[in-house]
């Protein structure tokens, strides 16, 4: 007979008194809460076009078959032990070679920290560079930066952005804060907007960081560090290019932490292989953090990734098809929404430039549609889900001001037929309003 422990584990005291203040105040992901709402609607038997997921449906986008075969082969070869905390040497060397070949950046040994996806290196970067109370500057909308700022108990300075700038910062908005900053965070292609940073802007920001750090060196102060999240860089569409801070301003090599992974570019979010590329003295301090978290990628996956990275013809063959499918779905959405806008319906979107996202604005603030009055991002999201069967993520989930009407659409888990149905239902809803 088993012991029923429920009387002891369901006390309110456990949720309010046992966790510390940091845990009690940490917010969960709004996207996960939206996913729960979508699941409830589907459980009711409703047709839902789920455009919320920053992930991939394996039935639509399987991982590269060459990666799968190599992981299986490594497991069969007995590669199931702990990997080194910094990453297996084969992968660290493969990443260095990859950056040299693909990005023109020749980093020395000791410049790579592997993790189970991009999140552990990001967390380790915050813990290594930022002290409690330090200033972290980042534009909004942006993915999850504010949570890392909170966990480090830093001071976040959010830089407002505009759709006409692709939701990227401008020099005029970001440079005045460099004097107080310890870290600047940039992301390109941008989650949630699906836009790419302009090289002129990136060069100007990097030049200003170098100049600021020269002044700090003379005073003996700690430098500004740039955390550059480029996880989606291999998913940029024709007509746009990826640029790195170091490629534009070589002196930035001393101050840049690149964040990267196979998660998005290989549709391999569950494989959990990511890395940071940064100056070796900084990597040496990140290594113990990742090691103590046990947040390394599995050995077999690391070795398989190392092998595949060194076969660019295989990777490019996969990417050509993958990018093409993503771009086709994003452009399908964009064409449909712009056609509605041309008819005078209250919707518009930005042109897709890369990644798996489309920025869309529904100009419904203050209106009542199908019995729903739109007052904020949450009420707009609820309207689209409940009345059109279309699940989106409002930009408020990424720190953007409420009431703007901007939402993120993701094509990672939706077919072209589902997109057609979603567009028809959106059009019908907007016409009814």
pLDDT of residue 220: 96
Partnered with residue 159 across adjacent β-strands are: 139
pLDDT of residue 363: 97
**Distances in Å between the alpha carbon of 258 and those of 103, 111, 122, 233, 418?**
12, 10, 9, 11, 36
**Distances in Å between the alpha carbon of 160 and those of 36, 63, 265, 357?**
29, 36, 28, 20
Distance CA 256, CA 230 (A): 12
**Domain residue extents for the chain:** 6-61+317-432, 65-311
CB 257 within 8 A of CB 227: yes
pLDDT of residue 16: 67
Distance CA 283, CA 254 (A): 12
Helix 312-342 and helix 416-432: axis angle, to 10°?
A: 20
Which helix (H) or strand (E) segment is 424 a member of? helix 416-432
Residue 127: φ, ψ to 5°: -70, -30
Cis peptide before 141 (omega within 30 of 0): yes
Per-position pLDDT tens, the chain of length 433: 899 988 877 776 666 666 788 888 888 778 778 888 888 988 888 888 999 989 999 999 999 999 999 999 999 999 999 999 999 999 999 999 999 999 999 999 999 999 999 999 999 999 999 999 999 999 999 999 999 999 999 999 999 999 999 999 999 999 999 999 999 999 999 999 999 999 999 999 999 999 999 999 999 999 999 999 999 999 999 999 999 999 999 999 999 999 999 999 999 999 999 999 999 999 999 999 999 999 999 999 999 999 999 999 999 999 999 999 999 999 999 999 999 999 999 999 999 999 999 999 999 999 999 888 999 999 999 999 999 999 999 999 999 999 999 999 999 999 999 999 999 999 999 998 7
What's the fold here for domain 65-311?
A: 3.40.640
Length of the chain (residues): 433
17 three-state secondary structure: coil
pTM of the model: 0.95
Say whether domain 6-61+317-432 belongs to CATH 3.90.1150.10: yes
């Amino acid at each position: 007979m088993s012991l029923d422990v429920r009387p002891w584990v369901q006390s309110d005291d456990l949720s309010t008194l046992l966790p510390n203040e940091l845990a009690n105040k940490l917010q969960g992901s709004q996207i996960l809460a939206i996913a729960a709402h979508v699941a409830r609607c589907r459980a009711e038997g409703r047709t839902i076009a789920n455009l919320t997921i920053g992930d991939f449906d394996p039935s639509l986008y399987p991982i590269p078959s060459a990666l799968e075969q190599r992981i299986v082969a490594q497991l069969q070869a007995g590669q199931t032990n702990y990997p080194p905390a910094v990453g297996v040497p084969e992968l660290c060397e493969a990443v260095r070679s990859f950056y040299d070949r693909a990005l023109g950046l020749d980093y020395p040994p000791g410049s790579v920290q592997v993790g189970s996806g991009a999140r552990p290196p990001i967390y380790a970067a915050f813990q290594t560079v930022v002290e409690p109370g330090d200033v972290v500057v980042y534009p909004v909308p942006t993915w999850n930066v504010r949570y890392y700022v909170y966990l480090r108990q830093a001071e976040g300075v959010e830089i407002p952005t505009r759709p006409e700038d692709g939701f990227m910062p401008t020099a005029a908005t970001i440079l005045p804060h460099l004097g107080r900053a310890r870290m600047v965070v940039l992301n390109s292609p941008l989650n949630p907007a699906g836009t790419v940073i302009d090289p002129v802007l990136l060069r100007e920001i990097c030049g200003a960081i170098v100049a600021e750090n020269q002044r700090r060196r003379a005073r003996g102060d700690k430098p500004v560090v740039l955390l550059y999240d480029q996880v989606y860089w291999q998913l940029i569409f024709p007509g746009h290019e990826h640029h790195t801070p170091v490629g534009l301003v070589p002196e930035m090599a001393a101050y840049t932490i690149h964040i990267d992974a196979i998660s998005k570019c290989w549709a391999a979010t569950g494989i959990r292989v990511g890395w940071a590329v940064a100056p070796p003295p900084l990597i040496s301090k990140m290594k113990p953090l990742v090691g103590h978290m046990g947040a390394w990628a599995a050995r077999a996956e690391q070795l398989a990734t190392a092998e595949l990275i060194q076969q660019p013809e295989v990777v490019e063959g996969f990417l050509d098809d993958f990018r093409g499918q993503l771009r086709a779905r994003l452009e399908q959405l964009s064409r449909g929404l712009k056609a509605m806008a041309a008819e005078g319906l209250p919707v518009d979107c930005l042109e897709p430039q890369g990644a798996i996202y489309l920025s869309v604005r529904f100009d419904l603030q203050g209106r009542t549609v199908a019995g729903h009055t739109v007052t904020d991002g949450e009420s707009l999201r609820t309207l689209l889900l409940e009345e059109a069967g279309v699940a989106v993520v409002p930009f408020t989930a990424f720190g953007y001001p409420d009431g703007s009407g901007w939402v993120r659409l993701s094509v990672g888990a939706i077919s072209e037929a589902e997109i057609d149905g979603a567009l028809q239902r959106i059009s019908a809803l907007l016409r009814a309003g």
